[in-house]
Structure 1
Amino acid sequence: MLAIVLGSGHSRTAGWLAQCGCRVVIAADSCAEQINEILKSSDESFACIIPARKQSPIALNITLNLIHKLAEITAHLSPYRTGVLFQQLKAGSHHILPLIWNRQTVLNRGWTNGFTGKSLLPFQDLVLLDKYAQLTHVPGSSWALLQQQGNELTYTEKLEAAVSPASLEPTLAKGMRAAETQRLLPLVLAQAVPRLNEESAAPDVQPFFSIVVCTCNDGHFVPWALRSVLIQPFPDWEVLLMDDGSEPPMDLSRLSPLFQDSRIRLIRSGSNEGKAVRLNEALSLARGKWLLELDADDWLAPDALERLLQLGDSYPSAQLLHGDHELWTASPRRGFRYSRRIAAAPAAAGWRSLTEAGHPLVPRCFRTDTLRAVGGWWTHAPLGGRKYEDIQMVARFLYNDPQAAVSAGGDPLYHRRLRSDSISQYSKEPYLLWKQWLIQMLEANGPVLPDKT
């Protein structure tokens, strides 16, 4: 039996496994790429994957008796079985986790081949839970169950009903703070229902949302952002992925075969001209009634599009839709962590107060016709439209119509990643100069520049 032990906290367990004749491999904590390489190099039908202790400190107490039972089960387990769940029954707690995995099923079934790597799942503590969620939705998926109560082991060859992935969260997400797991679990579970390779809509059918993702040399963030789009229950969208002169140029097929979806279009530029230029290019191509900005390193809540659709229907005169967002911070010292919930701007907020504050509305979903009517994003701004274009367009919409923006209530619509290398974007002196320029432009011209012809 192949036994993959995650992390360094199972030295005694690894020794026992080797003593029982298992081929033992130590892998980094939940490193999907390493686990996949181990599985590919094996000819075993099944693999026992023991979670890192930080993930499952309570649920797994490996004993020699349990190892012998697992070896016996895998020797006779049907090759069509997805794997074996292990449940340890204790007073007041019933912990369960997938312990034996069908190697070929893991590598070839589900919407990712193998366990999901860092690009599609930046939170690698959720690797096992993510793959389990995928496999529970694969037709014909079936698990066996091994239960332990005290020293007694009870084996059930086939479970009649699948165990909910959410019920495994307490034992497969222990490496993360509760606040982070709470916010990520809906997205991780939703990915198990892919909407890929569907027949595209007829060319003359207008998508409801044009989702614009601008990127330059940060393509490693893009797969997670796109994943958050692909799991949306509302399917009537297009993605315009604007590559602003990345070196090397972005190649979706190299990121993941998942992105060969006809609703996703990659538009490359040979030079880096800034986000405002790329947004204007996207605006010229957009077919949606609404244009939603999605930064390459951010992601949508699983129901964001449905709720934006409902918000637009509830306020037919609205020109700008937005809502609350969750803030995540990324730094070399502390890593990638959940920070806090950011409330939407109050309904009475005007263009000047938002400009003075220097905090953009997030998310920003603009009525496409209105974007075109105001002439798109200004690129003659200080810094060439490379910074503060988010505040610029919101201020222009609100200057044109103080009632233009409406906010969705309820849960946040969006997750925003604030990187330590981008915080300088809002340093005081450059923003002060830019803000003064914007106020002067709006007071002199309004949201639309006069036609110089």
Structure 2
Amino acid sequence: MNQELASYQEPYFLTLHAGERLLPGMDAFLRTELCHLPEASAGCLFSPTTPDEGGRERFQPPRGPLIWRTDAVMAPPSPGFTETALLPFESYILLDKQYQLNAAFTWTSTRNCPLVPAVSSPLPWQKKREEWELLRPLLAAPIQVEPGTDASHKVPLVTVLLCTYNDADYIPWAVRSVMAQTLPDWELLIIDDGSTDHTEHILDSLYPDHRIRTYRLKRNSGKAHALNSGLSMAKGSWLLELDADDWLSPDCLEQLYSKASLHRQAGVIYADHVQWEERKNKQLIYQGVRTAIHPFSTARVIKAGIPIAPRMFNTAKLGSLSGWNTDSPFGGRLYEDIEILARMSGSAEFLYVDRALYHRRIRLHSITHRHADHYSEWLSWMNAGDNGTAPEI
């Protein structure tokens, strides 16, 4: 669509979904709508109703705009429609642009358009209602860019630490979720652990926001090394880990910090997460909410081998333990997230927030999946107490 719009000269355009049918009278409908379209309007929304086989209205996410004002869509700072890397849920591309334009434009609305909606039945594994309810807050959240000013010297409440290695295509969506946070007092540290893909180009094209800092390590040293590099630069009193292929709910930092502000001596604040399975075509399938173990139990976490996400650390307490262990089996490249929680639990209080605040993407080719057979070896090392922690399992 962006290619077509780059050379498009007409003041308006129409978007249709596959399977929709135009009825006689569309020309007259469009002439009437365009004649009455206010100057401040970005276009016209169409909200069809689609009954199911029993005659009841079946859930469908909003369709998105039907008529668009070209100059509104192509206006800076985000001309055109969002690219796939920034929006991994391509079916919401029209709604994403609609929400972008809400701040500067109004919309007209109609239900009486001579158009027959596409009729499709969701497959058994598709949970459209749950998917939409989880994604709508992030799509609708305003992106507030803070350029470098005198306020840039303000100490952040939370450092979000994102370490990445050859995950360039996932980074923009993760960063967007940080930009959409309802708590604005954050900094985002991105540590590029010697990537050989186009990560450098992606990092150079991120939002021009003083709260985002990026660093590139000369060679790939592993997740624990990269995390420790970020820890040494973190300014926030709390530090939240964010994997490059995951993302945060818009209220994640606000909810976690609210708990932390009441318990400043706590070591870790954690919560539940939403799980998504990534298919070979990169399509994401909603898998439900995963409830974190609470009260926190090192033995149960290690036995299950399930990471806690989100996890927000007391930065000072994390530093007192010298951060993540790089002397573990595999050099801190595997299971470093579970190991640091085990060590933290020996001297710090863990507090739980009963909400799903993090979105975790399960990839077939992630490093954890590729090396799942190494867990037993790592577990033997943990039980031997070589890291100072020997949980009884």
* TM-score, with length taken from structure 1: 0.75
Contact 1:387 1:425 in 2 (8 A): no
Q: Deviations over 1:347-386 (max 9, x none)?
A: 1x43233222211211111111011101111111111111
**Separation in 1, partners of 2:48, 2:279:** 38
1:413 aligns with 2:342: no
**Separation in 2, partners of 1:186, 1:97:** 16
Match of 1:369 in 2: 316
Q: 2:298 aligns with which of 345, 351, 356?
A: 351
Matches for 1:142-153 after TM superposition, within 5 Å:
142-146=106-110, 148=112
Match of 1:297 in 2: 245
Contact 1:45 1:79 in 2 (8 A): no
Q: Deviations over 1:79-107 (max 9, x none)?
A: 65421234568999798752110111101
**RCO comparison, higher one (Cα < 8 Å, 6+):** 2
**Separation in 1, partners of 2:213, 2:231:** 13
Q: Measure how far apart 1:39 and its partner are.
A: 1.2
Provide the alpha-carbon RMSD of the alignment: 3.1
Matches for 1:377-388 after TM superposition, within 5 Å:
377-388=324-335
Q: Measure how far apart 1:257 and its partner are.
A: 5.0
Q: Which runs of 5 or more residues in structure 1 are unaligned?
A: 1-34, 54-59, 152-170, 448-453
Contact 2:42 2:107 in 1 (8 A): yes
**Separation in 2, partners of 1:79, 1:319:** 54
Contact 1:194 1:231 in 2 (8 A): yes
Q: Measure how far apart 1:243 and its partner are.
A: 0.4
Contact 2:275 2:361 in 1 (8 A): yes
Match of 2:88 in 1: 122
Q: Measure how far apart 1:229 and its partner are.
A: 0.5
1:324 aligns with 2:324: no
Matches for 1:265-344 after TM superposition, within 5 Å:
265-332=213-280, 335-344=283-292
Match of 1:217 in 2: 166
Q: Which runs of 5 or more residues in structure 2 are unaligned?
A: none
Give the letter for the 1:108 counterpart.
A
**Separation in 1, partners of 2:101, 2:75:** 10
Match of 1:158 in 2: none
| Residues 112, 257 of structure 1: alpha-carbon distance in 2 compared, 3 angstrom cutoff | farther
Contact 1:125 1:176 in 2 (8 A): no
SS at match of 1:210: strand
Q: 2:27 aligns with which of 67, 71, 75?
A: 67
Give the letter for the 2:350 counterpart.
A
Give the letter for the 2:384 counterpart.
Q
**Separation in 2, partners of 1:142, 1:392:** 51
Q: Measure how far apart 1:144 and its partner are.
A: 3.7
Q: Measure how far apart 1:40 and its partner are.
A: 1.4
* TM-score, with length taken from structure 2: 0.86
**Separation in 2, partners of 1:389, 1:426:** 16
SS at match of 1:413: strand
**Separation in 1, partners of 2:256, 2:322:** 24
Q: Measure how far apart 1:143 and its partner are.
A: 3.1
Q: 1:101 aligns with which of 68, 72, 75?
A: 68
Give the letter for the 1:70 counterpart.
L
**Separation in 1, partners of 2:70, 2:14:** 10
Q: Measure how far apart 1:299 and its partner are.
A: 0.4
Give the letter for the 2:277 counterpart.
T
**Separation in 2, partners of 1:229, 1:324:** 18
| Residues 255, 118 of structure 1: alpha-carbon distance in 2 compared, 3 angstrom cutoff | farther
**Separation in 1, partners of 2:153, 2:41:** 45
**Separation in 1, partners of 2:70, 2:282:** 35
Question: Computing the radius of gyration over CA atoms, which structure comes out larger, 1 or 2?
Answer: 1
Q: Measure how far apart 1:185 and its partner are.
A: 1.1
Matches for 1:391-402 after TM superposition, within 5 Å:
391-401=338-348
1:432 aligns with 2:376: yes
